[in-house]
Amino acid sequence: MKPIPLITLRNGAQVPVLGQGTWNMGESRATAATEVRALQAGIDLGLTLIDTAEMYADGNAERIVAQAIAGRREQVYLVSKVLPHNASKRGTIAACEASLKRLGTGHIDLYLLHWRGSHPLAATVEGMQALVAQGKIGGWGVSNLDTDDIAELLEQPEGEHTLCNQVLYNLSRRGIEYDLLPQAQESGMAVMAYSPIEQGRILKNPALHAVAQRHGATPAQVALAWVVRQPGAIAIPKAADVAHVEANRACLALALDETDLKELDAAFPPPRRKVPLAML
């Protein structure tokens, strides 16, 4: 099996370009055990970056993650997020401490502002830096921030410590390629792509099927391979069962060539002007 390529974040942490998302996990007791097994299978396959958030299932997704990483915390790069209304300095610290309890750990590797709210970025950064100093997080970043917000963030004291911007990015949501992705690459910030297959909505596209057929792959695998080929990009698809995890992992065996990329560009044109940052 081909090793998973790694990205080195600006704090020196190395993370796989393909991780595991948990949005919509933890919403039903009936599926909890299957979700835990899926995450554990992903860890076994090297998908050791696990992304979650206090918002997901009102904290229950974090509890699912806690079960999956029990006894193997040191193998996992753990990402969680603070909700905007909690993102004052004190609120950021308190939210992180609550997430740590639900996750059953004393340390979150990467802690993100989920999206921008009413609290000043300076206050959120102060909270994040305090958590780093306390050893409760390894580093911090943001999610769903557009270029103007990122520029403002980088002007804050300690703003240069921003490790990552987690945004909606997939074949049908390419707006970040015009400005936000180059901005991130120039500043040394990773881009983490959530919903990298648009929650399945793009998978019936004929061009995607044609490329997949040439490679003996699935459309989802092509869509994931397309995302992670971008320098500095990390994809975090959710997979709620073991077979789905294994299929996602197999996308890393794909090498899309120039013909594939041109065909996908024709079906999903790249942006020619600034597009407001999309969110789901």
Domains of the chain in start order, with CATH, are: 6-267 (3.20.20.100)
Write the Ramachandran bin of 158: left for phi over 0, alpha for psi from -120 to 50, otherwise beta.
Answer: left
Spell out the per-residue pLDDT of the chain, length 280, in tens.
Answer: 778 999 999 999 999 999 999 999 999 999 999 999 999 999 999 999 999 999 999 999 999 999 999 999 999 999 999 999 999 999 999 999 999 999 999 999 999 999 999 999 999 999 999 999 999 999 999 999 999 999 999 999 899 999 999 999 999 999 999 999 999 999 999 999 999 999 999 999 999 999 999 999 999 999 999 999 999 999 999 998 999 999 999 999 999 999 999 999 999 999 999 999 999 9
Sign of CA dihedral 44, 141, 6, 221: positive
> Of 242, 241, 239, 254, which Cα lies nearest the Cα of 19?
239
Size (the chain), residues: 280
